[in-house]
Amino acid sequence: MTPKKTDTEQEALIKSLAKKTDEHEFYTPIPKNYQFGRTKYVFVTGSVISGVGKGIFSASLAKLLKDQGLHVEAMKFDGYLNVDAGTLNPYRHGEVFVLDDGTECDMDLGTYERFLDQDISKDNYLTAGKLFSQIITKERAGGYLGRDVQFIPHVTGEIKSFIRHLAQKSEADVVLIEVGGTAGDIESAYFLEALRELQYEEGAGNSCFVNVTYILKPSSLGEHKSKAAQLGIRTLMSMGIQPQLIVCRSTEPIPEKVREKLSIFSNVPVDRVIGLEDLQSIYQVPLKLKEAKADEIVTEILQLKAKLKSQEKALMQWEDFEKKMREPKSEINVAITGKYTGLHDAYASILNALEHAGEANCAHVNIHWVDTAKIETLKDAENALKGMQGVIVPGGFGSRGVEGKILCVQHCRENKVPYFGLCYGFQMAVIEFARNVCNIKGAHTTEVEPDCPEDVIDILPEQKEKEGLGGNMRLGGHKVDIKKGTVAESLYDATDAHERFRHRYECNPKYIDVLEKAGLVFSGKAPHHPIMQILELPAEQHPFFVGVQFHPEFTSRPLRPQPLFKGFVSACLKKN
């Protein structure tokens, strides 16, 4: 029999104090049956500037650790006071990514899912708004035993509890936690303090701090300067955090002397100060980190050598994928006609899904951005889409550019240009078909014209009594029933699918018959409800005309491209 593990003196002290919040200054709630040392932790922090690529680094490191046979979970902390990302303007924060459980979150979690090839949940995402909402609710219910609720120990204690809950629930070998923003930000200070405390409580060999910094190269000087990075690291060290691995982001490879300066300044061995310059694609980052032995450094720090397995097969698959990305046999031009064309991060998952589908078709997809607010006539649409082998109308909200989108749909339908409508693009296709094929001249959506005479797109019944914007849409993963003998069935090679939704409006059921009689095929619908989820024109009438009420881009993975995107790119190649 295996002898029962006994707590160390440190673990016993923490568990004891966790139960006595009314008598001690400690507040460290420990999940029931939590085992210290069972899960290891990697903390990824930023310095110098935000938007430096912590998310891609975190996802890449997590992938390398998973490829070695470890069960890895990735978590993101965001300091803004929004409860989730659902009400954020894409121009300010990039794409709103939707998890299968309906959580609206930061786009970095999409990167985690794609690189790890696994679904994650609300337990992997914590904002300040969500954190404080839970704390205030708990305080109102008397959950802190009359204590004055403070940042230390209560806020930090709840953060540690959130982390340990995921660790225990998932039984992960490693939980990797990315802290949004940079060291020195007020909104991330208590997150960093919680991680410092967690490292102390978990004991030596159970956690690793990684700082992703930025090395400047002013054009007026022509050489790399590390002072800003040194000051950022000093900020971390002044908070009691000692980085164990430093990742230097830069536009080009940094010289050895920069790594040496940072090593001396930060007490980090020079072989643990690694460079990560801008690369041709994000898919090269895991390979670059492997070359720098980043995963080996982390597993050594975390004392995980005994658990590791061969990484060779997974590396070969990734290298093959990345090579095909760099060496396509053909090219196609695809237009994305949306309202956030000034910030490409607003459509990050679409761009990634096109990359995955392109690689599967041995093709490179050139993206052309079309601002539909500037399209006022069918001739404008024709000029804007000239030379395109395919057109995507992506998701969105509001009235700006709507008529331009509808004109783009009409151009694609009439000229047999492959068309792919995503969420709002599905609705625009319904409106265009109703107006120009069914001769329903007043057809529109009540989102744009609440009193339109022909509401072919109307709000979902369950949404009519809801108020506010946050978390009030039809969100997350739902089953789609697929009609046999359709384009959708041939692409999925199945009669059902599981896809992620984010919408409040739908095709009005009272118009379904007239639309179908005119030739529009609703090839996918919600089980047990008249909610249309896929529309198409038959293959004999159009090379590819598909609209979906869901967001298929959220489920595409590098080595498993989403079927509809794969089919769309294939149709574009035939149009080429």
pLDDT tens readout for residues 84-108: 988 887 767 778 999 999 999 999 9
Task: State whether 249 and 145 are in the same domain.
Answer: yes
Angle (CA) 546-567-286 rounded to 5° is: 125
SS3 string, 481-511, reads EECCCCHHHHHHCCCEEEEEEEECEEECHHH
User: What are the φ and ψ backbone dihedral angles of 468, each rounded to 5 degrees?
Assistant: 80, 180
Query: How much is the pTM?
Result: 0.92
Task: State whether 69 and 124 are in the same domain.
Answer: yes
The crossing angle, in degrees rounded to 10, of helices 54-67 and 108-116 is 20
pLDDT for residue 5: 55
Is residue 248 flagged as an active site residue?
Answer: no
Domain extent, residue 213, equals 40-318
From the candidates 248, 412, 423, 507, give the one annotated as an active-site residue: 423
Locate 164 and state its tokens.
């340990």
Burial level of 129, CB count in 10 A (0-12/13-18/19+)?
middle
Percent of the residues in the chain that have a pLDDT greater than 70, as a whole number: 94
Is residue 224 flagged as an active site residue?
Answer: no
Could you tell me which residues come within 8 angstroms of residue 444 by beta carbon, excluding any fewer than 6 positions away?
431, 452, 454, 455, 456, 457
Task: State whether 335 and 300 are in the same domain.
Answer: no
* Dihedral of alpha carbons 161, 162, 163, 165, sign: positive
Residue 448 lies in a domain: yes
Burial level of 10, CB count in 10 A (0-12/13-18/19+)?
middle
CATH number (domain holding residue 529): 3.40.50.880
Residue 22 lies in a domain: no
Give the count of domains, the chain: 2
From the candidates 154, 356, 542, 551, give the one annotated as an active-site residue: 551
Do 41 and 206 meet the contact criterion of CB atoms below 8 Å apart? yes
Q: How far apart are CA 268 and CA 301, in angstroms?
A: 12
For the stretch 92-149, pLDDT in tens is 777 899 999 999 999 999 999 999 999 999 999 999 999 999 999 999 998 888 788 9
Task: State whether 280 and 202 are in the same domain.
Answer: yes
Locate 328 and state its tokens.
């396509």
Locate 458 and state its tokens.
């109307």
Residue 357 lies in a domain: yes
Which residues in the chain show pLDDT less than 50?
A: 1-3, 466-471
Residue at a domain's end among 265, 289, 318: 318
Residue 31 lies in a domain: no
Task: State whether 370 and 483 are in the same domain.
Answer: yes
Task: State whether 394 and 543 are in the same domain.
Answer: yes
Residue 9 lies in a domain: no
Task: State whether 137 and 46 are in the same domain.
Answer: yes
- CA dist list (Å): 180 to 50, 92, 498, 559: 8, 14, 31, 28
Residue 325 lies in a domain: no
CATH number (domain holding residue 289): 3.40.50.300
* Dihedral of alpha carbons 320, 325, 329, 335, sign: positive
Task: State whether 299 and 346 are in the same domain.
Answer: no
- CA dist list (Å): 433 to 11, 436, 511, 535: 66, 5, 11, 11
Residue 3 lies in a domain: no
pLDDT for residue 23: 61
Residue 126 lies in a domain: yes
Could you tell me which residues come within 8 angstroms of residue 545 by beta carbon, excluding any fewer than 6 positions away?
412, 413, 418, 419, 429, 536, 537
User: What are the φ and ψ backbone dihedral angles of 388, each rounded to 5 degrees?
Assistant: -85, 135
Burial level of 23, CB count in 10 A (0-12/13-18/19+)?
exposed
